[in-house]
């Protein structure tokens, strides 16, 4: 099921990542360009020297970096590595009751302040508030999708916020967007034990965890299926 169209303009070869927001890419015409990386993760399994990547022209002509990195190749699949699309993808899922874990909702609000954090979505269903935080996942080992691929204090802060919301009587959930072909999802205890322990605690406090597998091909993000959580 199509969720969002994300076009790319060029493919190329990834050369290096001078810093976490910048990548050097050699285009098919051998021109070397700098592309903005809109994802704070390490992405070392995707952004390594020699790997095929997909870029597009930046929409802001005044911007110093003229290209955006959109996706990287892995096992014959395009893996989205641009987190600026996560909210739009999540909203497309939420708005479709046939695939949304929340089914039909009465109201959807994005970027809503909740305590000391901004949470991606506040849903209202039958008068009940549902706080939803969205996380993108690009790391897979075997058949297991793992999050995060780098320590994330911000991600843990969001979990604590969701736990507090649940304790005061609202509903809370984390929607994991998986851009890998996984059969199950787990927190990455090796990389970030603090986040992982907090996610396990959130689950015990009845914060819902929804991992959704997505496919990116022919310029479209498509919904595939939901998979189980292993904690």
> By C-alpha distance, which of 174, 182, 88 is closest to 141?
182
CA-to-CA dists, residue 17 to 39, 40, 44, 225, angstroms: 12, 12, 10, 33
Quick check: 227 pLDDT over 90? yes
Give the model's pLDDT for residue 62: 86
The tens digit of pLDDT for each residue in 77-95 reads: 999 999 999 999 999 999 9
Average pLDDT rounded to a whole number, residues 157-179 = 98
* Cα–Cα distance measured from residue 77 to residue 90, given in angstroms and rounded to the nearest whole number: 20
What is the C-alpha R_g of the chain? Answer: 18
Average pLDDT rounded to a whole number, residues 145-172 = 98
Average pLDDT rounded to a whole number, residues 175-186 = 99
Q: What domains can you pick out in the chain, each with its CATH number?
A: 2-80 (2.40.50.580), 83-226 (3.40.1350.60)
Q: What is the pTM of this model?
A: 0.96
The alpha carbon of residue 116 and the mean position of all alpha carbons in its chain are separated, in whole angstroms, by 22
């Amino acid at each position: 099921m199509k969720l969002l169209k994300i076009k790319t303009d060029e493919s190329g070869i990834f050369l290096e990542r001078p810093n976490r927001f910048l990548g050097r890419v050699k285009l098919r015409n051998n021109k070397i360009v700098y592309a903005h990386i809109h994802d704070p993760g390490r992405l070392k399994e995707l952004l390594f020297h020699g790997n095929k990547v997909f870029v597009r022209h930046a929409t802001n002509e005044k911007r110093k970096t003229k290209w955006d990195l959109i996706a990287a190749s892995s096992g014959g699949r395009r893996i989205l590595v641009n987190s600026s699309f996560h909210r739009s993808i999540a909203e497309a899922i939420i708005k479709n009751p046939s695939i949304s874990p929340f089914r039909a909702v009465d109201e959807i609000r994005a970027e809503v302040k909740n305590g000391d954090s901004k949470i991606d979505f506040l849903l209202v269903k039958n008068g009940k508030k549902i706080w939803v935080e969205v996380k993108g996942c690009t790391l897979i080992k075997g058949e297991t999708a793992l999050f995060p691929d780098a320590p994330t204090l911000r991600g843990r802060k969001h979990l604590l916020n969701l736990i507090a919301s649940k304790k005061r009587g609202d509903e809370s959930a984390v929607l994991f967007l998986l851009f890998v072909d996984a059969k199950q999802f787990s927190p990455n205890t090796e990389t970030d034990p603090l986040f992982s322990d907090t996610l396990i605690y959130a689950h015990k406090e009845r914060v819902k965890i929804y991992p959704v597998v997505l496919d990116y091909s022919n310029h479209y993000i498509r919904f595939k299926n939901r998979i189980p959580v292993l904690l």
